Structure formats: C-alpha cells, structure tokens
Structure 1
Amino acid sequence: MGTRVDALIKWILGAKISHADFVEKSVSSNQIALRIGSAFGVLFELCNICRVLFFSNMGYAMVNRLIYLRFYLIYLVCCAAFLIIDFFCSLSVMVRHRFYMISVGMILFWHLLFNMYNVYLSGAMAYFTIVTAVFFFSGFLMFKPLYTIISLGVCYLTYIWFINPIFSVGEIVNFSVTICLCILMYLIRYKHLRIEISQANQMREVQQELTDAQRDFRLTIEQYEMIREQESSITFEWDIQEDWIRFSKEWKHYFDHPESIPQFYDFIKNLEQLSSSHKEILLTCMRNIKKGVPYQKYEFMLPVKNGGNRWFEIRVITQTNKQSEPVLGIGILSDITDRKDRISQLEKEIQMDLFTGLLNKASIERYGKRKLSELREGEKLAALIVDMDDFKDINDQYGHPIGDYVLKEAADILRHHAPVGARIGRIGGDEFMVLLIGCNISCMETYAEEVISKIPRIHWNGIEVSPSCSMGLAVASTPNVSYDELYRKADEALYHAKQLGKNRLYSLFSEQTENN
C-alpha cells in the first residue's frame, strides 16, 4: 500500500524543480490570466452596478439591492486595486507571487459569499458563480498544490456546510464531483508544468555545456539517453547548413520514414499527409531556428505509421557558434496524445450535469448564446423549457431517493426522444432546457407532446409516482434577439402552461413572437 501511495505522489509531483523556477513560471503564467480576469471584472461589475441602480425591475427589497450593490462595489474595487498595483508597482517576483496568492484567495472568498447569498435569497440550488471561480482557478492559474487544495477545500467545505440542510444528496454529490474534477485537472496541469520546467532547465544546461571544441556542436549519446529516459521521447538534431536531420531510435516506433532525412525543410513542405496548419507550425519552427530563436515549444498532429494521427509536443533549442550564428536545432518530440485525451475528457465532464448526464446550466447557456450569434438567414433557434409539476410533493410524499430517480428518468426521456441536433441541459433542480437550431423546428411541438405523454409512465419498483411536466416554447429567428430575451419568452410560455392547468405545452411559436 505504501509503495502505491509513493508512486502516486511521485506521478503527481513529476520531476524535481527549484522553488525559484516554479515561482518565476507561476508569475509569468498567472499574470496574463489575472490581468484579463480583473479587467473583465471591472467592466462586468460596472454593468452590474448600473443595472442595480437604474435598470433593475427584479422586485428585490431595498435591503437586498443594497447588499448586491455592496457585493459589486467590493469586487470592482478589488479588481481595480489589483490592476493598479500589478501595473504600476515595482514588485519582485517573489512578492508578486504572494500578492497573486492573496488576490486569488480574496476572489474565491467573494464568489463563495456571493453564491451563498444567492442561495439564501432564492431558496434554489445554484452554484454557477462558485464553480466558475473554481474552474478559472484550477484551469488557468497555477500555484503550489498545498495552497490550491487548501483554498478549494475551504470553499467546498464551507459551501457544503451551508447547503447541506437545504438540498438533496444528489445536488450535493453533483457539486462535490465537480470540485473533484477541477482538482484533478489542476493536478494534471501541475505535473506537466513541472516536467516542462525541468526539461527546459535540462536543455539549457546541455546547451551551456556544449562548446565548439568539446562537442563539435553535437549532443553525446549519454546526454541523449539522459533526456530520453524521462519520457521515452524522440530526440533529434537538425543541421541548419546541411538541412539534414537525425532522429533517435524511438522515431521508428511511430513513423516509417528513415531516422536520417536530408533536405528536411523540403521534406516537410512536400509531405502530403500533413495538414496545412500543422505543416506551417513545423516550417515556422524551422525558420525560427534559422533566425536564432533560443527556445520554442509547439503542439501539432502528425500521421503515424499505423494510418492514424497522434498529437506531439516539440521542444527545441537553437545551438549557436562563437559568432552567435545558429548552426543546430536540438530538441525533443514527445507523444502527448494521452494527455490531450485526458484533458479533453475532463473539460467535457466539467460541462456536464453529472447527476443527469445532461449539459449543465452554464454550458447550455453558452451554447444558446453562440448559436444565436451564428444564426443565418432562414434559420431559427427554438428554446423549450421543461419544468416538473409539483415536484416538491413527490419528494415530500415518496422521499428524495425516488425524487432523484424521477429526475434521472425524465432526463433519459428528454434525451432519448430529442430531435436530431438538439442540445439538452439541466438549468435548475427540476427544470430543463432543450435548444434546437434549424430552418424547420416545428418538430419541437411534436417532441414536447411525446415527452408530456411519457413522463407520467415513470414508475419506481411498482409504485405509481405519476409525475407530470409543463413546457414553454419560444423561437428566435434573428441574431438581434439575446439569449436572455429568448429565455424570458420561453419562461413566459411556461407560466401560461402552468396557469392553464399544468401537464401541457404552451407555445409562443409565431412570427410576431419571434420578432418581438
């Protein structure tokens, strides 16, 4: 057991690097993300403040408006202060690193309090704000694991403590899994950052050790092996003057081409199996070597000998002579297909509502906004809101486990009978959204009636639960309509369905509705 734990820790930490190297890389990586995020925060909170002061018609009591206004003002001041300090104060790398840690901690704490207040005010399960902050923290920023895990852990435990008496186990598990996925994504990024720093240091050390007389501008076999042992990667050496490249023996594991290739620039230029975009990446890398660019890193896809394609990462340094003229390109080609697949799978899972397997609220909203902006002439975007009728009564009468079962079965019915091309998301505890784009979306009404007829057939171990649902349908046929306006129309239609006795569809599917 101890051996397995040690192996796991070693896998997470990767190669050893100095604290100073990590801090320098962390600051350079975090600086761009934090500056963009803070600038966006200033603009966004200014809009929120204007909305609360001049345009809000949400019916909040004055005290609630004041609380929201204070939230927005605090966030605005913090973002503006961060930008001023970061741009105009001359800070050392270490001080700037600590300043970033404090700033990010404050941002997380603000989002936590704001989300908790939203839940307290609405009485509905909502964690979009805190999940967005956690995803930004784990997906775009980089700090040491202890700080990261403690920060995320405190946010998670505080939020779970707050919502535990209010919401079902399913909602809590869904939020917990989302946080765990964010932590896992961070650990994968942290591992590969350490490997990148370590390999860049190794390559710089090798470059410094090479001299014209001692190495004749070539890495020795021992040095090649030392670098290759780390990841079983392909090492190579490109002679710029001769335009001749030599690869290590690992090259043959992936490709049928010889390990030594003359006229390599023309070889890449004329390689038909390589896509134009990835070909341009390689040619740009070679041109930069000729210009003397000291270090480069790119990712691209290459066709391999089994007929498929795999993702590779190239890291290359330029070796110069005494006159500082570039003479060699020396580097490592690593297969990163598995890493890309893992990150892609994690990103996909973060977009999902893990309780039902549908898209979550943030993802379905992003999809709707993007499709509205891309509407072409003749196309329409239909929005169907599905709300379970009297779902609280089901939970009260049969218990939350049966209620959770009903929700999952309803999600399966929505997914199984959906028209081709439709996207389905869960936007609330017992509320769903179905979006469909196309020139003819009349099939949505047929789909809605079919779902309404099948929902009451849901049984649990022979128990007649007899659930039902109401639906509201609205359509947009112009990109001038915002997603919020389309949502409001669909919600208005849902309200009419409820008023007419529930268990029915109310449609605002008309040209007048589409244009208003």
Structure 2
Amino acid sequence: MGTRVDALIKWILGAKISHADFVEKSVSSNQIALRIGSAFGVLFELCNICRVLFFSNMGYAMVNHLIYLRFYLIYLVCCAAFLIIDFFCSLSVMVRHRFYMISVGMILFWHLLFNMYNVYLSGAMAYFTIVTAIFFFTGFLMFKPLYTIISLGVCYLTYIWFINPIFSVGEIVNFSVTICLCILMYLIRYKHLRIEISQANQMREVQQELTDAQRDFRLTIEQYEMIREQESSITFEWDIQEDWIRFSKEWKHYFDHPESISQFYDFIKNLEQLSSSHKEILLTCMRNIKKGVPYQKYEFMLPVKNGGNRWFEIRVITQTNKQSEPVLGIGILSDITDRKDRISQLEKEIQMDLFTGLLNKASIERYGKRKLSELREGEKLAALIVDMDDFKDINDHYGHPIGDYVLKEAADILRHHAPVGARIGRIGGDEFMVLLIGCNISCMETYAEEVISKILRIHWNGIEVSPSCSMGLAVASTPNVSYDELYRKADEALYHAKQLGKNRLYTTFSEQTENN
C-alpha cells in the first residue's frame, strides 16, 4: 500500500523544481487570467447594480434587493482594487504571488457566501456560482497543492454543511463528484507545469554549458538522451543558416519522413497534409527563432504515418553565437494526445449529470443562453420541460431503487428519440429540459408525444410501473427573449398540462405567445 501511495505522489509531483521557479511561472500565468477575470467582474457587477437600482420593480427598497446590491458592491470594489494594485503598484514576484493567493481566496469566499444566500432564498439546489468559481480556480489558475486543496476543502465542507439538512444525498453526491473532478484536473495541470518548468531549466542549463565551454553549438548524444528519456519525446536541432534539421530516432515512430531534412522551412510550407492553422504555428515558431526569441512553446496537430492525427507540444530554445546572432533552434517535440484527451474527458464529465448521463442544469442553461444570443433570422429555439407525474408515489410504493431505474429509463428515452441537434439536460430531481434550434421545430410536438407513450410502457422485472410525465413547450424566435423568459413560458405550459390531467403536452407554440 505504501509503495502505491509513494508512486501516486511521485506521479503528481513529477520532476523536482525550485520554489522560486514555480512562483515566477505561477505569477506570469495567473496574472493574465486574474486581470481578465477582474475586469469582467467590474463590468458584470456594474450591470447587476444598474439592474437592481433602475430596472427592478422596487429597487433596493426590498430587503433581498438590498442584500444583493451589497454583494455586487463588495465584488465590484474587490475587483477594482485588485486591478489598481496589480497595475500600478510595483511588487516583487514573491509579494505579488501572495497578493494573488489572498485575492483568489476572497473571490472564492464571496462566491461561497453568494451561493449560500441564493440557496437560502430560493430553497432550491443551486451551485452554479460556486462551481463556476472553482472551475475557474482549478482550470485557469495555478498555485501550490497545499493552498489549493485547503481552499477547495474549506469551500466544499462549508457548503456541504450548509445544504446537508435541505437536500438529498444524490444532489450532494453530484456536487461532491464535480469538486473531485475539478481537483483531478488541477493535479494533471500541476504535474505538467512542473515538467514544463523542469525541461525549460534543463535546456537553459545546456545552453549555458555550451556557451561557457565555447562549443560548436551541437548537443552531444548523451545530452539528447538525458532530455529525451524523461518523456520519450523527439529531440531536434535546426541549423538556421543552412535551413537543415535533424531529429532523434523517435521521429520514425510517428512519421515516414527522413530524420534529416534540408530546406526545412520550404518543406513545412509545402506540406499539404498539414492544416493551414497548424502550419502557420510552425512557420511562426521558425520565424521567431530567426529573430532570436529565446524560448517558445506551442501546441498543434500533426498527421502521423498511420493515417491519423495526434497532438504535439513543441518546446524550443534559440542558440546564439558570441555576436548574439541566432544559429540553432534546439528543442523537444512531445506527444500530448493522451493529456488532451484526459482534460477533454474531464471537462465533459464536469458538464454532465452523472446519474443520468445527460447535461447538468448549469450546462443546459449555458447552452440555452448562448443559442438564444446567436439566433439568426428565421431560426427558433424550442424549450421543452419534462416533469415526471407523481414521482414521489412511485418511490413510496415501489421503493427508491425502482424510482432511480425509472428516471434512468426516462433519460434514455429522451436521449434516444430526440431530434437531430437537440440538447437534453436534467434540471431537477425528476425534471428534464430539451432544447432544439432550427427553422422548423414542429417535430418537437411529435417527439414529445412519442416520449409520453414510451415512458408509459416502462416496466421493471415484469412489474408494470406505468409512470407518466407532463410536458410544457415554448418557443423563442428572437434574441431579445432571455433564457429566463423562455424557461418561464415553458414552465407555465407545464403547469397547464398538469392542470388538464397530467400525462400530456401543453404548448405555447404561436408567435403571439412567444412575444408576450
């Protein structure tokens, strides 16, 4: 057991790096993300404040509006203060790193309190605000694991303590799994950052050794092996003046091209199998080497000899002579396809409701808002809310295992019979949302009737459970309709379906209803 734990820790930490190197890299990468995030926060909260003061029914006369106004003002002041300090105060790298840690901690704490107040006010499960903050923290920022784990742990435990008496175990488990996936994504990013810093240091050390010894600007075989063995990567050396490149033997594992290529710039320029965007990345890298740019890192996709495409990461340093003229480009080409796939899978899982495999509430809402803003002339967005009828009676009569089975079967029916292009999400315990964009969405009524019919035929081990569902359908045909308005129309239609006896579809399909 101890050996496995040691192996896991070694995998996470990767290569050893100094604290100073990590802090420098952390500050440079976090600075852009925090500045953009703070600027966005200032603009967003200004809009929220204007909405409360000028566009709400009672302004800040209502207690709830006043509390929200205070939340918005605090966030606005914090973001503005951060931008002023970061732009205009001359701080050392170490002090700036600590300043960023304090700022991020305050941002997380604000989102935690704001989310808790939303839950307290609405009595409904909602963790979009805190999950968005945690996803930004783990997906775009980089701090040491101890600080990251403690910060996330405090947020998680506080939020779980707050919602535990109110919500079901399933909703708490969904939130917990989402946090775990965010932490796992952070650990993968942290490991590869350490490797990147370590390899950049190694290449700088090699460059310094060559300069001090006045060598002929060629890496020895032993040095190539030392760098290559770390990740089984391809090493290369490009002679700028001769436009000639030599790759290590690993090159042949991926490509049919020879290990030594002359007129390499023209070779890349005329390579038809390479997409124009990725070709431009390589040509830009080569032009920068000629300009003497000391270090570069890019990611791009290359066609390999088996006929497929794989993602690669290139890290290259520019070797100069005594006159500081660029002479060589020396670097490493690493296959990062597996890393890309892991991160893509994690991002996909963060957007999913793990119980049903559908999109979660936050993801389906983001999709709906984005599609509404992108509506073109003649296009419509249909929103179909599906709610299981008397689902509590099923749980009480047959037991929760059969109730869970019915929910999963209903989710599968919604997914398998959905029109092409539809997006389906779970927005509540036994409530689902289907969104479809297009010029002709009358097929949604046919789809709804088919789903109602098939859900009635759900059975479990020979037991005729015969669940039913009610549906409300609404349509928006203009970007001026907000997602909340569209949702409200669909919810009202669902209410009418329930009032008319359940197990049916009620639609507000006319243009007049859409615009009211």
TM-score category (smaller protein):
over 0.9
Q: 1:273, 1:68 → 2: CA distance?
A: 55
Structure 1 position 62, deviation (Å) = 3.0
**3-state DSSP class of the match of 2:58?**
coil
Q: 2:48, 2:503 → 1: CA distance?
A: 37
Q: 1:321, 1:161 → 2: CA distance?
A: 63
**3-state DSSP class of the match of 1:485?**
helix
Q: 2:459, 2:118 → 1: CA distance?
A: 34
Q: 2:89, 2:389 → 1: CA distance?
A: 57
Pick closer, same or farther for the CA change 1:417–1:86 going to 2, 3 Å.
Answer: same
Structure 1 position 162, deviation (Å) = 1.9
Structure 1 position 183, deviation (Å) = 0.3
Could you tell me whether the CA contact under 8 Å between 1:125 and 1:429 is conserved in 2? no
Task: Please show how residues 65-464 of structure 1 align to structure 2 within 5 Å.
Answer: 65-211=65-211, 214-395=214-395, 400-460=400-460
Q: 2:263, 2:218 → 1: CA distance?
A: 19
Structure 1 position 129, deviation (Å) = 1.0
Could you tell me whether the CA contact under 8 Å between 2:60 and 2:66 is conserved in 1? no
1:41-69 alpha-carbon deviations (Å, 9 max, x no partner): 12222222232333335999933233222
**3-state DSSP class of the match of 1:412?**
helix
Could you tell me whether the CA contact under 8 Å between 1:38 and 1:79 is conserved in 2? yes
Structure 1 position 250, deviation (Å) = 0.9
- Which range is displaced more, 316-325 or 453-462? 453-462
**3-state DSSP class of the match of 2:196?**
helix
Q: 1:272, 1:211 → 2: CA distance?
A: 38
Pick closer, same or farther for the CA change 1:510–1:351 going to 2, 3 Å.
Answer: same
Q: 1:377, 1:49 → 2: CA distance?
A: 32
Q: 1:503, 1:136 → 2: CA distance?
A: 41
Structure 1 position 395, deviation (Å) = 4.6
Pick closer, same or farther for the CA change 1:473–1:359 going to 2, 3 Å.
Answer: same
1:172-208 alpha-carbon deviations (Å, 9 max, x no partner): 1111111110000000000000111111111111111
Could you tell me whether the CA contact under 8 Å between 1:382 and 1:441 is conserved in 2? yes
Q: 1:111, 1:39 → 2: CA distance?
A: 17
Structure 1 position 282, deviation (Å) = 0.8
Could you tell me whether the CA contact under 8 Å between 2:472 and 2:493 is conserved in 1? yes
Pick closer, same or farther for the CA change 1:400–1:112 going to 2, 3 Å.
Answer: farther
Structure 1 position 108, deviation (Å) = 1.1
Pick closer, same or farther for the CA change 1:404–1:42 going to 2, 3 Å.
Answer: farther
Could you tell me whether the CA contact under 8 Å between 1:352 and 1:359 is conserved in 2? yes
**3-state DSSP class of the match of 1:324?**
coil
With normalisation by structure 1, the TM-score equals 0.95
Q: 1:401, 1:141 → 2: CA distance?
A: 41
Q: 1:270, 1:492 → 2: CA distance?
A: 60
Q: 2:502, 2:420 → 1: CA distance?
A: 27
Pick closer, same or farther for the CA change 1:99–1:394 going to 2, 3 Å.
Answer: farther
- Which range is displaced more, 136-145 or 47-56? 47-56
Pick closer, same or farther for the CA change 1:308–1:100 going to 2, 3 Å.
Answer: same
1:418-446 alpha-carbon deviations (Å, 9 max, x no partner): 11221101122332110112222111001
1:438-472 alpha-carbon deviations (Å, 9 max, x no partner): 22211100111122233343445566655332211
**3-state DSSP class of the match of 1:353?**
coil
Q: 2:472, 2:243 → 1: CA distance?
A: 66
**3-state DSSP class of the match of 2:311?**
strand
- Which range is displaced more, 102-111 or 210-219? 210-219
Q: 1:462, 1:57 → 2: CA distance?
A: 55
1:115-164 alpha-carbon deviations (Å, 9 max, x no partner): 12222222211111111111111001100001111111111122222222
Q: 2:401, 2:65 → 1: CA distance?
A: 37
**3-state DSSP class of the match of 1:136?**
helix
Pick closer, same or farther for the CA change 1:460–1:58 going to 2, 3 Å.
Answer: farther
Q: 2:89, 2:396 → 1: CA distance?
A: 58
**3-state DSSP class of the match of 1:376?**
coil
Could you tell me whether the CA contact under 8 Å between 1:168 and 1:400 is conserved in 2? no
Pick closer, same or farther for the CA change 1:509–1:175 going to 2, 3 Å.
Answer: same
Pick closer, same or farther for the CA change 1:212–1:106 going to 2, 3 Å.
Answer: closer
Q: 2:459, 2:144 → 1: CA distance?
A: 50
1:249-278 alpha-carbon deviations (Å, 9 max, x no partner): 111111111111111111111111111111
Pick closer, same or farther for the CA change 1:282–1:3 going to 2, 3 Å.
Answer: same
Could you tell me whether the CA contact under 8 Å between 2:380 and 2:477 is conserved in 1? yes
Structure 1 position 28, deviation (Å) = 1.1
Q: 2:144, 2:395 → 1: CA distance?
A: 43
Pick closer, same or farther for the CA change 1:505–1:90 going to 2, 3 Å.
Answer: same
**RMSD (CA atoms):** 2.1
Pick closer, same or farther for the CA change 1:41–1:359 going to 2, 3 Å.
Answer: same
Q: 2:413, 2:60 → 1: CA distance?
A: 37
**3-state DSSP class of the match of 2:418?**
coil
Could you tell me whether the CA contact under 8 Å between 2:407 and 2:430 is conserved in 1? yes
Q: 1:126, 1:515 → 2: CA distance?
A: 29
Could you tell me whether the CA contact under 8 Å between 2:53 and 2:59 is conserved in 1? no
Structure 1 position 211, deviation (Å) = 2.8
Could you tell me whether the CA contact under 8 Å between 2:278 and 2:301 is conserved in 1? yes
**3-state DSSP class of the match of 2:229?**
helix
Pick closer, same or farther for the CA change 1:424–1:231 going to 2, 3 Å.
Answer: same
Unaligned ranges ≥5, structure 1: none
Could you tell me whether the CA contact under 8 Å between 1:243 and 1:262 is conserved in 2? yes
Could you tell me whether the CA contact under 8 Å between 1:289 and 1:318 is conserved in 2? yes
Q: 2:455, 2:124 → 1: CA distance?
A: 23
Structure 1 position 236, deviation (Å) = 0.5
Aligned to 1:49: 49
Pick closer, same or farther for the CA change 1:266–1:212 going to 2, 3 Å.
Answer: farther
